A and B are shown apart, each in its own frame.
Chain A
Amino acid sequence: MASEQLWSQVAEKWQTSFNRLNRNEPGITGLLTFSEAWVLARDFLRPRDIDEPSPKSTVNRQQLRAAFDNLAQRRMLTALLEEFLEDMRWQLPHITKDIEGLMKQYEATSDPIFIAGCISRLVLWHKAWAPFPELGPTVVNAFTNTFQTHVFSVLPRSFSHGFKSLVSATLNPEYATEPPVWITTLFPQSGPPPDRWDKPLWQAFEQLGMTERYESLIASVCYEHVEAHMIETYSKVWDRECLSEARDWMSQHILPWLLMPYAPNAKTVEEAAPFISGIGTRLDYHVCKTLADLRTREIFDIIVDFPDSRPALDDLKKCILRVDHRSTLVKTLRKENAHRLLHPGADTKMILQQYVSIIKCLRIIDPQGVLLFKVADPIRRYLRERPDTIRCVVASLVADHESGDSLVDENDTVQPLQQAQVDDYSDLNWEPEPQDAGPDFRTNKPSDIISTLVSIYDSQDLFIKELQVLLAQRLLAIKDGNFDRERRNIEVLKIRFGEAQLQVCEVMLRDMTDSRRTDQHIQSQKNNDTTQLHPTIISRHFWPSLQTNTFTMPGQFKTIQDAYQKEFKTFKPDKKLVWMSHLGTISLDIELDDRTVSADVPPLEAAIIELFSQKDIWTIDELIETIGSIERPAAVKALGTWIELGVIKEEDANTFRLLQVADAAASSKTTQRPQAMAVEDEVPIVTAQQQQAEQMKVFWKFIEGMLRNLGSLPVDRIQQMLKFAPGYDRSVEQLGQFMEAAKREGLVSVKDGMWKLS
């Protein structure tokens, strides 16, 4: 029963199929026609090795059409397609062999011409096998899919690399004027030559679906090209704005090229716009990023070149806005600074100059100062450790602009130093801190450079102290009595530091003018022989300590000094005049038997030659003893001056004789030599550092005293006991270092942390 039913069902199906194929033709003629049509169509479609002669040309076009119609009527096209794809699969090894051969050649030579050849072959295969488009999109798509799947699956790994070099060849500017030879042989064009030489190549890519598949590759070629171009063209070019230039170049050279891969069918630029806007934006970003990277790498030198490099900074500012490069910039600049600036080889003045430039440059890039804050921190910390930072800053404060020492522009208005600002809650223009600001970031409103430099140290007192020392040096060095410049400096500094801080300097300045007045008064008394002496009278309490090497001037100098002192006492009875005999200059005319020698010399030299007027022969020890409290090297130097001037001569070791009559040999020697520069330029003011060393000597006496009387002590006990020493302010660490130094000199020894005198 059941089998009978099944039988009838099968029979019915058979009948339907038969009817479909036979198309109600009498007998089986319909079936026969179908069979003929099938064979014809299949044979036509069958993929063949393209190197064999193709049968297609012999086929009757009409017959073929009839056959396909027949098959379509019988709804057998799907079956035909399957058959076709099956046939294709059988034939694919031909392509594989072809590709492999060409790729092997490429791998051996790395010449992209083989990639071009490979593509040209693939195009041929594709063309030869493609079913005609009348068969409908389904067939064509199915074919394309199968073909591409196979091709991409057999392409070796090296292909993408080769493809990349082939694509970059299309960017080669040389080919723009003279296209490579292979393009015409590999991709013969029937029509007129295309407007771009590489057009056939792009068409081939498109045909094989490679544009889509290798889009990222094509984009990366473009990026790399842009990057290489920019680095080549804009490295170290800081004197013009490169960003806009680069953008122009992009729109002139890269954008037209982009049309090929991204908008192959667009006829006009407007038509292409939607296709290339995406890649265009990405490329613009890439341009900014490349420039930002480049300028970040060069940032240190850009800052060195400032202000000539201003356009580069403007570029960097724009780029950084676009690509958010701030942290990299900070990191790079910090590293560069540590590497190139903050090391012992760099001069403090240079570091300060670069720091000032950094301040100016980073303010251009980031007006809010977050970058500056982050970069400046290590520099400031380093400068704090340098012993001569204060001196350099102070020197630049009072430097004249001609000498080039100044760190600030002449045009900067002088303004009071700014203290760290507290937030002003009533400020309507308040802006929040930038998001990359650190927790200890202070919004520095654009403050002037000097304020920034002075704020390296917590206290201004150090500057004032150093300023005093410097001012003392400069005042004492002035010989023509013109203090206008110093007065101007002091006035400028008063605005910066405030009146009260500079009172001491004011007193120093007044001492100078007062000295002249006093001197004029004393000279006007006429009843003495003080006319040759013009002292500068300074108030001890207001001046930094001068080196206290006072010796007594002998002979006539002493007489003059005493006479002056007497006059001074009557003029200003409440003051005491103490001579600093080692400072100043003395103009001398030495009358000898046969000649007169004129010289401007320091007092010690004068003192020594004065002694020679008492007797002709002195030993150096006698001289030192007579003058008193001078050091041997100083005496030797002073004697050297006179020997060079040919006034005295060293007879035996350390014995000197006055040459009343010029020594022939000596005078000829003098003429050969240039006139000795006997006048010392540097006024011996005790610097802060020397003062410290001086203080340490005092502390050492205390340490010695306690160790002698109390035996051995641990270092913290010494530290405590040192509070007896006036002005002791060192830390235990500093004391420890000092003790170690003393140990090295063999003054003390240490055992189990207990120090004792050795």
Chain B
Amino acid sequence: MEQVSTTAAGRGPQKSGATGASAESAGSVTKRLSQELMNLMMTSPPGISAFPKSDSNLFEWAGTIEGAVGTVYQGLTFKIAIHFPSNYPFVAPKINFVTRCYHPNVDIHSGAICLDILQDKWSAVYSVQTILLSLQSLLGEPNNASPLNTAASQLWDKPTEFKAELLRLYRPAEDIN
């Protein structure tokens, strides 16, 4: 990388600055993501997990969340897709449910999630692990104030019916690839 920037520096100082910076940031993002992966693998917190989808692209991950014990989601496993932007961790990753998830804050069709730390409350100190843990707790404690799935939010107070609806829509995870 250093070599690239020095040769570029010979041609034009202005251009070299830009190339060097972007290359450097891409490098640091990769480094950060590798570090996060390493941490996640080593701590392996119960019920959550994630891994890059392919060895060539560190920005696309697949994740797994198991419903916490004592919630209606207990015993269910949800697959999610994580997309890291190139300016991660300054911008939050984009996360979607892949497994259909009946939940007040999850769009049943697109899998989009409404979670504050994924939008305006995002901070660079969060990591994949904290996001996954937040999602796991979100399953048990939805924010009914800002529902994406109003039907689900209305049904939340009736656990038996909610569970019936959840199980009706739930499809066990298939292999992603």
B53 interfacial by beta-carbon distance below 8 Å:
yes
Distance in Å: Cβ of A572 to nearest Cβ of chain B: 30
B63 at the A interface (CB under 8 A): yes
CB distance from B83 to the nearest CB of A (A): 14
Report Cα–Cα, A710/B34, bound state, in Å: 17
In the complex, chain B residues whose CB is within 8 Å of the CB of A672: none
B44, A704: Cβ atoms under 8 Å?
A: yes
State whether the Cβ of B89 lies closer than 8 Å to any Cβ in chain A. Answer: no
**How close is A756's CB to chain B, nearest CB, in angstroms?**
8
Of chain B, the residue at the smallest CB distance from A702 is B41
A709 within 8 A of B: yes
Which listed residue, A698, A710, A723, touches B51 by the CB 8 Å rule?
A710
Instruction: Point out the residue from A709, A712, A720 that lies within 8 Å of B50, measured CB to CB.
Output: A709
Residues of chain B within 8 A (CB-CB) of A712 are 175
Q: Say whether A705 contacts B55, CB under 8 Å.
A: no
Against A, the Cβ 8 Å flags (1 = close, 0 = not) of B6-43 are: 00000000000000000000000000001001101110
**Interface core residue of A704, A706, A721, A723 (most chain B CB under 10 Å):** A706
Separation in Å of the A454 CB from the closest CB of chain B?
Answer: 35
Are the C-beta atoms of B42 and A711 separated by less than 8 Å? no
B35 closest partner in A (C-beta): A726
Give Cα A537–Cα B54 distance, bound, in whole angstroms.
45
Q: Which residues of A contact B52 (CB under 8 A)?
A: 706, 721, 724
Q: Are A711 and B50 in contact (CB under 8 A)?
A: no
Smallest Cβ-Cβ distance to B174: which chain A residue:
A711
Contacts of A196 in B (CB 8 A): none
Residues of chain B contacted by A705 (CB below 8 angstroms): 37, 40-41, 44, 49-51
B3 lies within 8 A of chain A by Cβ: no
Q: Interface on chain B toward A: helix, strand, loop, or mixed SS?
A: mixed
Highest count of chain A CB atoms <10 Å: which of B40, B44, B51, B174 = B51
A343 in contact (CB, < 8 A): no
If A720-B55, A721-B55, A723-B55 touch, whether A709 touches B41 (CB-CB below 8 Å) is no
- Residues in A with CB closer than 8 Å to B49 are 705, 708-709
Q: Count the A residues whose beta carbon is within 8 Å of the partner chain — how many? A: 17
Q: Which residues of B are found within 8 Å of A706, using beta-carbon distances? A: 51-52
B61–A709 contact, CB under 8 A?
yes
B63, A709: Cβ atoms under 8 Å? yes
Q: CB within 8 A of B177: which of A711, A720, A726?
A: A711
Of chain A, the residue at the smallest CB distance from B33 is A724
Nearest CB of chain A from residue B124's CB, rounded to whole Å: 22
Measured CB to CB, the nearest residue on chain A to B79 is A709
Question: Most B CB atoms within 10 A — which of A704, A706, A709, A721?
Answer: A709
Which of A710, A723, A725 meets B53, CB within 8 Å? A710
Could you tell me the distance between the alpha carbons of A137 and B50 in the complex, rounded to whole angstroms?
115
What chain B residues lie within 8 Å of A704 (beta carbons)? Answer: 41, 44
Q: Does A558 contact B (CB under 8 A)?
A: no
Q: In the assembly, what is the distance between CA of A720 and CA of B62, in Å?
A: 16
Given A724-B34, A724-B37, decide whether A709 and B42 contact each other with a Cβ distance below 8 A. no
How distant is A710 from chain B, measured CB to nearest CB, in Å? Answer: 6
Residue A488 at the chain B interface, CB threshold 8 Å: no
B64 interfacial by beta-carbon distance below 8 Å? yes
Is B125 in the interface zone, CB < 8 Å from A?
Answer: no
Q: Does B176 contact A (CB under 8 A)?
A: yes
Interchain nearest-CB distance for A749 vs B (Å) = 14
A contact residues around B51 at 8 Å (CB): 702, 705-706, 708-710, 721
Residue of A706, A710, A725 most packed against chain B (CB within 10 A): A710
Would you give the shortest CB distance from B70 to chain A, in whole angstroms?
22
Find chain B residues with CB under 8 A from A709 CB. Answer: 49-51, 61-64, 79, 176
Bound form: Cα–Cα A708–B176 in Å: 11
Closest residue of chain A to B77 (Cβ to Cβ) is A708
Check if A701 sits within 8 Å of B42, measured CB to CB. yes
User: CB distance B41 to A698 under 8 Å?
Assistant: yes
> Would you call B38 and A726 a contact (CB within 8 A)?
yes
Chain B residues near A710 (CB-CB < 8 A): 51, 53, 62, 175-177
When chains A and B are docked, how far (Å) is the Cα of A711 from the Cα of B98? 14
The residues of B that contact A725 with a CB separation of less than 8 Å are 38, 41
* Distance between A297 CB and nearest chain B CB, rounded to angstroms: 58
CB neighbours of A726 from chain B (8 A):
34, 38
The smallest C-beta distance from A752 to any residue of chain B, in angstroms, reads 13
CB distance from A639 to the nearest CB of B (A): 33
**B49 CB to nearest chain A CB (Å):** 5
Q: A705-B50, A706-B51, A724-B34 are in contact. Are A698 and B42 (CB under 8 A)?
A: yes
Alpha-carbon distance A710/B175, docked complex (angstroms): 6
In the complex, which residues 40-90 of chain B have their Cβ closer than 8 Å to any Cβ of chain A? 40-42, 44, 49-55, 58, 61-64, 79
Q: Which of A680-706 contact B (CB under 8 A)?
A: 698, 701-702, 704-706
Given the complex of chains A and B, what is the CA–CA distance between A708 and B53 in angstroms? 11
Kindly list chain B residues whose C-beta atoms are within 8 Å of the C-beta of A701: 41-42, 44
Q: How far is the CB of A548 from chain B (nearest CB, A)?
A: 14
Q: What's the nearest-Cβ distance from chain B to residue A747, in Å?
A: 14
Residues of A within 8 A of B44 (CB): 701, 704-705
Which chain B residue lies CB-closest to A705? B51
- Chain A nearest CB, measured from B80 CB (Å): 9
Cβ contacts B128-167/A at 8 Å (1 or 0 each): 0000000000000000000000000000000000000000
Give 1 or 0 for each of A719-739: 1 = CB within 8 Å of chain B CB.
011011110000000000000
Residue of A708, A712, A720 ringed by the most chain B CB atoms within 10 A: A708
Q: In the complex, A708 Cα to B44 Cα: how many Å?
A: 12
B contact residues around A711 at 8 Å (CB):
173-177
In angstroms, Cα B61 to Cα A705, docked, is 11
Bound: A712/B175 CA distance, A: 7
Q: What residue of chain A has the Cβ atom nearest to residue B63's Cβ?
A: A709
CA separation between A726 and B42, bound complex, in Å? Answer: 12
- With A and B bound together, what is the CA distance between A658 and B64 in angstroms? 52
Which of B42, B55, B64 interacts with A708 by CB under 8 Å?
B64
Interchain CA distance A182-B34 in the complex, whole Å: 102
Chain A residues in 8 Å Cβ range of B58: 724
- CB neighbours of B40 from chain A (8 A): 705
Q: Give B80-120 interface residues, CB cut-off 8 Å to A.
A: none
Tell me the minimal C-beta distance from B56 to chain A in angstroms: 9
> Inside 8 A of B176's CB, which chain A residues have their CB?
709-711
Q: For A702, list chain B residues within 8 Å (CB).
A: 41, 51
Residues of B within 8 A of A698 (CB): 41-42
- Closest partner residue, chain A, to B34 (CB atom): A724
User: Once the chains are docked, how many angstroms separate the CA of A517 from the CA of B52?
Assistant: 51
* A724 with B53: CB separation less than 8 A: no
| Cα-based distance from A701 to B44 in the complex (angstroms) | 8
| 0/1 string, A735-746, CB within 8 A of B gives 1 | 000000000000
A721 to B173, CA, bound (A): 21
Across-interface contacts of A724 in B (CB, < 8 A): 34, 37-38, 52, 55, 58
CB distance from B142 to the nearest CB of A (A): 24
Separation in Å of the A716 CB from the closest CB of chain B? Answer: 11
Residues of B with C-beta under 8 A to A708: 49, 51, 64
In the complex, residue of chain B having the shortest beta-carbon distance to the beta carbon of A720? B55
> Which residues of the partner chain A approach B37 to less than 8 Å between Cβ atoms?
705, 724
Cα–Cα, bound, A28→B53 (Å): 138
Q: Could you tell me the distance between the alpha carbons of A712 and B174 in the complex, rounded to whole angstroms?
A: 10
B139 to chain A, nearest CB (A): 17
Residues of B near A721 (CB, < 8 A) are 51-52, 54-55
8 A-B pairs with the lowest CB-CB distances in the bound complex, closest first: A711-B175, A709-B51, A709-B62, A701-B41, A720-B55, A706-B51, A705-B51, A708-B49
Contacts A702-B41, A725-B38 known; 20 new A-B pairs at CB < 8 A: A698-B41, A701-B44, A704-B41, A705-B41, A705-B49, A706-B52, A708-B51, A708-B64, A709-B49, A709-B50, A709-B51, A709-B176, A711-B176, A721-B55, A723-B55, A724-B38, A724-B52, A724-B55, A726-B34, A726-B38
Chain A positions within 8 Å of B, measured between CB atoms, are 698, 701-702, 704-706, 708-712, 720-721, 723-726
User: What are 14 contact pairs spanning A and B, CB under 8 A?
Assistant: A701-B42, A705-B40, A705-B44, A705-B49, A708-B64, A709-B50, A709-B63, A709-B79, A712-B175, A721-B51, A721-B52, A721-B55, A723-B55, A724-B58
